[in-house]
Homo-oligomer: A and B are copies of this chain.
Amino acid sequence: MSHASKPSFHGVIPPVVTPRTADGAVDTASLEKLTKYLLDGGVTGLFILGSSGEVPYLTNAERDTVIRTVAGVNAGEVPIIAGACEQTTARTVEEARRLVGLGADAIVATSQFYAISDIAETDTHFRSLHAALDVPLFAYDVPVRTHFKLPLPLLVQLAQDGVLAGVKDSSGDDVSFRQLLLATRGLPDFAVFTGHEVVVDGALLGGAAGVVPGLGNVDPAGYAALYSAAKAGDFAEAARVQDRLAGLFDIVYTPTPGRVSPGAAGLGAFKTALMLLGVIDTNVMSAPMTALNDAETAAIRGVLERSGLL
């Protein structure tokens, strides 16, 4: 990314998965290949240390390794957005500053978790993060993890006050998502991204700036094509691409229910697909998550073949 100009946040910004070697270490060689694969696929940003990157499972040393590796390959080509995944304000500030020091062009942060908080404290939380950081701040709305939906009026106020540069929405609240788009339409520097892989056409139709698709690790070019069609106003084509990608998303349903955790099922599917595509070396998960097994891997191979990726 050219630091001479302000980064533009839009388009396809996949949450980069964190490959591991067979013995469980961060696999920097695979991560480098993955980064190139994504850039070659036409992504317009890289979101590292997100949920798809298994960030809660990484030690701080591993987090540093991830950002160093990705930043090295990226070499300023697209903006790097990093997740500062910590429990409360003070801890998030520490985490974010370290990541900015290592190359993050923007920070994504959730509301506080484990803490039992409320709206007023969440407002203070984001304002404190903004004041403490000198890069753009995105709110990550992910109540399935934080158990706190970021309220629409709070997001609108933080947008209007310039505290937030945008929102990565994984809330599943499509009504609030659309109302946020409408309410912030007049704010050119505020960008709303959906984190839901299979509703991107509708999100873009409604005015979203882009998408942060976990599945974009597997098919970055597909999401780039979807985004291009939508930008060109060809929503019929966007829907066709979306439908194909929604079919590909079936890989996350291949794990036997109950055999691996809900967290491991989706991320394991992405990793397994990337392994089958030759982009990363293993589908090893961060402990205590379990990797997908041979039967599940075979099922994923079938989906990839039906989707034309293999």
Contacts and interface: CB of A to CB of B under 8 A. Distances in A.
A109 interface: no
Nearest to A233: B236
A149 to B, nearest CB: 10
Contacts of A290: 120-121
A184 to B, nearest CB: 13
Interface string A221-254: 0000000000001011011001100110100000
Contacts of A286: 88, 90
Interface stretch (A34-42, A158-166, A199-207): A199-207
Interface stretch (A67-75, A168-176, A272-280, A294-302): A168-176
A203 B182 CA distance: 17
Contacts of A112: 56, 288
Interface stretch (A2-10, A98-106, A139-147): A139-147
A59 B90 CA distance: 7
A293 interface: no
A94 B90 CA distance: 19
Given A116-B145, A145-B114, A121 B179 contact: no
A65 to B, nearest CB: 13
A64 interface: no
B197 A175 contact: yes
Interface in A107-134: 112-118, 120-122, 124-125, 128
Interface string A40-58: 0000000000000000111
A157 interface: no
Given A88-B57, A206-B239, A288 B199 contact: no
A91 interface: yes
A206 to B, nearest CB: 6
A196 to B, nearest CB: 5
A179 B85 CA distance: 30
Nearest to A59: B90
25 contacts: A56-B91, A56-B112, A57-B87, A57-B115, A58-B91, A59-B90, A59-B94, A88-B286, A113-B114, A117-B261, A120-B261, A121-B288, A121-B289, A121-B290, A124-B287, A124-B288, A147-B147, A174-B198, A174-B202, A175-B197, A178-B199, A179-B198, A182-B246, A199-B206, A202-B203
Interface of A: 56-59, 85, 87-91, 94, 112-118, 120-122, 124-125, 128, 144-147, 172-175, 177-179, 182, 196-199, 201-203, 205-207, 233, 235-236, 238-239, 242-243, 246-247, 249, 258, 261-264, 286-290
